[in-house]
Homo-oligomer: A and B are copies of this chain.
Amino acid sequence: MYVGIDVGGTAIKAGVVDEAGNIVARASVDSRPDSGDEMVRLMYVAMSRALGRAMLPRDRVTAVGVGSSGLCDNERGVVVYSPNIAYDNTRVREYFMERIDARIDVDNDANCAAVGEYIAFGENCGSFVFVTLGTGVGGGIIVNGRLLRGVNGGAGELGHTVLFPGGRLCGCGQRGCWEAYASVSGLIADAREKGGWFAGRPELNGRTPFEGAAEGVPEAVEVRDRWIRNVALGINNLVNIFQPDRLVIGGAVSREGETLLAPIRRFVSENAYTRGVPGIRQTEISAARLGNDAGIVGAAFLHKIK
């Protein structure tokens, strides 16, 4: 059995995961983002609670994977740095290896979610791109069965490619990042800027424009469609760079299904560089299968990915 641990700024979630990718037990503890060392201790607490709930002794666990926000170095088994958790080359592998006899992997949370979806889609891909649309836009890339980590573990920051130079200020400090437009936060900002029908909705969230558009509200249709187009522009760029076997779109908004996916597929089929070349395979664009569990499952399966 494996354990996957998904570490965020507010909660640390652990799951006991079987060989088929099912989560058989879970536990969650609150984060302590002011201390990296304390976070590692809490990761271990979350794992222990999940194992307790599964009534599984530690010696039955062969692999533990940790997915954390921030920059990770899986060669050394440390979390190097995070903008929202006080890590400082925090030695996750060392802490776990002193307490459990299992393989320990440590990687970025978006990379873990990519691995989870890659496993869920049957992992028979030459290249696989995962994009998650949430508060931000994250990504993970798998090529020939290996995560694309780059020289420093920071590869796959797909949301921080500039698509509108000089545009909206992004949390990363650049202007015009894809994330500032294609995230759910970007969608909510679009809706607020639009006003009108949206102004009467103080509970405005990422579903509101989709709900309004489904009811035929013109402002909602406009905001939704422009946002989807901005998502599609970035997706098409990724297709032109990677021509992946499969590109998976995750995040809660991916539950909108074909309302979101059909226009993106159409945009790519009309704009990708390889459009119109007869008889060749094209990228399959799919909605994520695992939802919020992708991070736990992917972390648990990191040991299967080089």
Contact = CB atoms under 8 A, between A and B. Distances in A.
Interface of A: 71, 80-81, 89, 126-127, 141, 143-144, 146, 148-158, 160-165, 172-174, 233, 236-237, 240-245, 271, 273-274, 277-283
A259 to B, nearest CB: 22
Contacts of A148: 127, 143, 242
A240 B110 CA distance: 14
Nearest to A175: B271
Determine how many copies of this chain the complex contains: 2
Contacts of A278: 81
Nearest to A165: B233
Given A155-B242, A241-B156, A243-B154, A279 B163 contact: no
B240 A157 contact: yes
Contacts of A126: 149-151
A151 to B, nearest CB: 5
Closest 6 CB pairs of A and B: A150-B243, A161-B237, A152-B280, A155-B243, A154-B274, A157-B240
Contact of A151 (B80, B150, B281): B281
B233 A162 contact: yes
Given A150-B243, A156-B241, 7 more contacts: A71-B280, A126-B149, A127-B148, A153-B280, A154-B277, A163-B165, A172-B273
